[in-house]
Amino acid sequence: MKWRGRRGSRNIEDRRGMGGTAQVGGLGLLAVVAIGYFLGVDLTPFLQGGGTLAPTGGGEITEADRQEGEFVSVTLADTEEVWDDLFRTQVGERYNPVTLVLYKGVTQSPCGGASGATGPFYCPGDSKVYLDTAFFTTLSRQLGAHGDFAAAYVVAHEVAHHVQNELGILGQANSIRQQVSEAESNAISVRIELQADCYSGIWAREAQARFGTLERGDIAEAINAARQIGDDTLQASAGRVPMPHTFTHGTSEQRQNWFLRGYESGDMRSCDTFSADRL
């Protein structure tokens, strides 16, 4: 992905270097796990399966942190231009860009405490994306999703949840989720997540069309990431037998397919996972 030297976003709230001493207690962590449907990646199998995640730790901002922050900022700026345009041309409304909180170690959100173990997520309570760039290391080293475009896909996926929130989809889906059984609620979560993957695909297509950001192998990196973070793959690599009724994000195959559907069509209507007979 070509991103160096390009414009960054103004909508970054940089909380790194703020000490990172705030404790995420058991309750805080549980709160984020409970709203796991907002995570780009469901790390619950790792938390329960005894797997370990890369340590994050607060403290000093390193050169690597600075570069990762810049990468996220450019990617976020790209999502702003693309979604601004898509809202105008496909929705007929104005797009309000999302704020992205960069943190290191731990931080608080209205959705609960965030830490390296929770992974990146979107909190509808304050309409912000929370991201510790240490997650990119987890993504590459532990989840097997290598490459910068895998990381860009994660950012695009979280921004896509904001798009769903702006469109009223997230609020509607979540109010239904509160009234149904856990298995039904999980099934709705899968539709939310796959739609976010499809929107991420649209973003990748538009980013290429506008900025020519894609390099050889980038789409393969995003597709591999979508595959590596499918619920069946995550549960299996955490040493468990995949249990479809517990899936909240979709299988590897579904995640790849919906990303590709968005990438190939560029049409938001093609991402209607809620009316799809087959996911």
Binding site for Zn ion (CB under 5 A): 40, 193, 196
Smallest gap from Cβ 122 to Zn ion, in A, equals: 7
Q: What is the DSSP string of 138-204?
A: IIIIIS---SHHHHHHHHHHHHHHHHHHHTTHHHHHHHHHTTS-HHHHHHHHHHHHHHHHHHHHHHH
Rg of the chain over CA atoms, in angstroms? Answer: 17
Question: Among residues 65 and 254, whose Cβ is nearest to Zn ion?
Answer: 254
Smallest gap from Cβ 120 to Zn ion, in A, equals: 9
- Residue 278 burial (C-beta neighbours within 10 Å; 0-12, 13-18, 19+): exposed
Smallest gap from Cβ 5 to Zn ion, in A, equals: 30
Question: Among residues 77 and 192, whose Cβ is nearest to Zn ion?
Answer: 192
Backbone φ, ψ for residue 227 (5° rounding): -70, -45
Pairing state of beta strands 128-131 and 99-102?
Answer: parallel
Question: Among residues 65 and 166, whose Cβ is nearest to Zn ion?
Answer: 166
Query: How is residue 81 written in tokens?
Result: 């231009």
Question: Among residues 165 and 211, whose Cβ is nearest to Zn ion?
Answer: 165
Q: Residue 181 CB: number of other CB atoms within 10 A? A: 9
Smallest gap from Cβ 23 to Zn ion, in A, equals: 26
Of 42, 166, 149, 175, residue with least CA distance to 99: 166
Question: Among residues 101 and 196, whose Cβ is nearest to Zn ion?
Answer: 196
Smallest gap from Cβ 158 to Zn ion, in A, equals: 7
